[in-house]
Structure formats: C-alpha cells, structure tokens
Amino acid sequence: MSGIAGNSKGPVGASVHNLTAEAVANAGRIGALMLQAQKAAETVSPGFHQRRKRGPGDSFWQYRTYQQGDGANLIDWRKSARSTSLLVREQEWEAAHTIWINVDQTKSMQFSSGKAIQSKQDRALVIALALSSVLLGQGERIGIPKTTRPAIGGHSQLEKLALNWTSKKPEFAFDSGDYRSLNHVVFISDFLTDISDLEQNISRLAANRCAVYLVQISDPAERNFPYRGHITFQDPESGQRYRTPGAQDLGEGYRAKFAAHCDHIKLIASRNEFTSVHHQTDNQASDCLLALKAAIGQGAPRSISNGMFGIDL
C-alpha cells in the first residue's frame, strides 16, 4: 500500500548538497513534531499526577555527575567540593524506575493513506515526544533503549530525544539489557508482525517484572480497507507486490483478519496484566496520550489493569 523511492549517486559536491538539504529538512521536521507534541502535552499536563512518593524507597542509591537539566537542589554541594565535578545524589526509587520509550521506525510505519493523514511514524514520534515532555516535566527519567544511557532526566533533554529518534532511528528493541525489574517500557508500533514472536517477547518482559504499554498505531485505510477496482498493493518491507482487479472483493476477509490481529494484541496484554492502546492516525494524538497518562500514573508496574486493556482511540 506504499511506494518505495530509489536513491541515486552523484558527484561529491552533489552528495554534500543532498546531505545539507536532508539536515535542513530533518531540522524542520523535528520542529514540527515537537510543536505538535507540545500541544498534545499541554492538553494532559494539568491532570497528570507525579508518581514519586516519599518513603523508604527514596533512600540514597548512588552519586552521578550533574547533567544539563538537573535541578540545583539535587546537587550534593559538600560531596562536590571534594570532587572535580558537580555530583548529584540519585535516590533508589529514581535509579530503579525508568521509563523506556521504543518507537518503531521500520518501513511499514512510513505509510499514510492520504496527504491529510499523518504517517504512522510521525504520529508515533509525536506521541513519544509528548509523553516524554509530560513525564520529564514531572521529574521522571526517560530513556531510549540501546541509545541513551543512562536514562536522561530534565525537560531540557526533550530536543535530544527528538534528535535521537529522527536522526539515529534507534533499534526497536524488545530485548535490551536496559530493562530491569520494575522499569516501565513503552512500545509504539503498528505491530504488523508475527503475533507469536510478539507474544514471546512480551512474556519475557513480564517474567522480568517490567510494566509494558503496547501502543498500536494504525492508518484508517489499514483498518477500513476502502479500496476498490484495480489496485496494486506493495509490502513496504519486502517490496513484494500483489495486483488485484477487484480490491473490493478482498475487503471483508481483510477486515476480519486485521480485527483478529488487533484483538490478539489486546489478549497478549491482558494475559500479562499490561496495557494496550490502539490509536488511529485520523484521531487526535492527545487521546492516546490521555490513555497512557492514566495507565502510567497508577504507578505500580503489575497493578495497572483497571479497565485499561484494549483501548481503541
């Protein structure tokens, strides 16, 4: 359902020009995505309750070097006076609880059924950035698996996250040494993959006592299948093509299979006491953010059922 553009090689000067143009275009894209994310974050921020609570879990964990965005109140001035750098006291709760956000950026995520519909990839990035903005503003620690270590904190780091997601395109990692017991892990993807592989990956995270949030992003055409007549469909991952003279004859069977696939994702989440949210790109990003806010705000990694399974937005 999407095309693949080819790349051409030219002289060194042309290559430099192309790289410069790409960098400028990426900077503009980051700005647009961050603006959308900030608008969505502003919708939910007033009602978002901080998960941290004072108590035995706030005991001292370790010292770490001051990072841009850390509050001055976090600096241990006495310890820093005996060191060559500023040191921050890291509490046990902060070190043990991190929210890792995974954004799927494979080729299937680039699909959009029309100019008025945002691509699945861009919508996923808006949701990831908006969620990060809200959580960073509440003092939480955000990380991108296998990319940002240690997990970064402070609202000024939002642009750094955006650069990592748009420039480096991190691996969509189900299996990462970054995930520890009690961590929160968010996966944002179309999940158009083998369902048994997904189930195995999620089960491993459950065994490690992580709290998992599955955010499935779909284009309205993927769900409704509005196609009729002579249509050539193309798999964006493999490039394989399928041409049919009567696309409307495939609609009923396709919609049933797509619905069954989505239901299975909800079932995987339910079996492991995790959260699943199905978001469609013709809806508002803030709708998805509100659902995630409600789930993450509950705090306890394995106590987040409460009707949160299988939300369709």
Q: What digits encode the pLDDT tens for the residues 221-244?
A: 999 999 999 999 999 888 999 999
Is 275 domain-assigned?
yes
Q: What is the mean pLDDT of the chain?
A: 81
Contacts of 222 (CB under 8 A, 6+ apart): 1, 111, 113, 190, 258
- Is 90 exceeded by the pLDDT of residue 21? no
End-to-end CA gap in the chain = 23
d(CA 187, CA 172): 8
- Is 90 exceeded by the pLDDT of residue 57? no
Between the ranges 51-60, 84-93, 174-183, 275-284, where is the mean pLDDT highest?
A: 275-284
- Is 50 exceeded by the pLDDT of residue 271? yes
Torsion of CA 256, 261, 267, 268, to 10 degrees: 170
Instruction: List, in sequence order, every residue forming a beta bridge with 218; answer none if it has no partner.
Output: 280
d(CA 272, CA 212): 9
Q: Identify which of 120, 129, 102, 164 has the alpha carbon closest to the alpha carbon of residue 34.
A: 129
Give the phi and the psi of residue 311 in degrees, each rounded to 5: -80, 130
Domain count, the chain: 1
Which tokens belong to 60? 């001292």
pTM of the complete model beyond 0.85: no
117 versus 69: the higher-pLDDT residue is 117
List pLDDT tens digits, range 185-215: 999 999 999 999 999 999 999 988 889 999 9
pLDDT attached to residue 115: 85
DSSP structural state of residue 119: -
Contact yes or no for 266/175 (Cβ under 8 A): no
pLDDT attached to residue 107: 93
Is 91 domain-assigned?
no
Is 84 domain-assigned?
no
Is omega for the bond preceding 56 within 30 degrees of 0, making it cis? no
Is 156 domain-assigned?
yes
Is 228 domain-assigned?
yes
- Is 50 exceeded by the pLDDT of residue 4? no
Q: Which residue has the tokens 């937005």?
A: 313
pLDDT attached to residue 66: 83
What is the mean predicted confidence (pLDDT) over 268-297? 91
pLDDT attached to residue 61: 56
Is 200 domain-assigned?
yes
CA 155 to chain centre: 17
Burial pattern 185-214, b for ≥16 Cβ within 10 A else e, equals bbbbbbbbbeeeebbebbeebbeeebbbbb
Q: Which domain holds residue 249?
A: 12-51+97-312
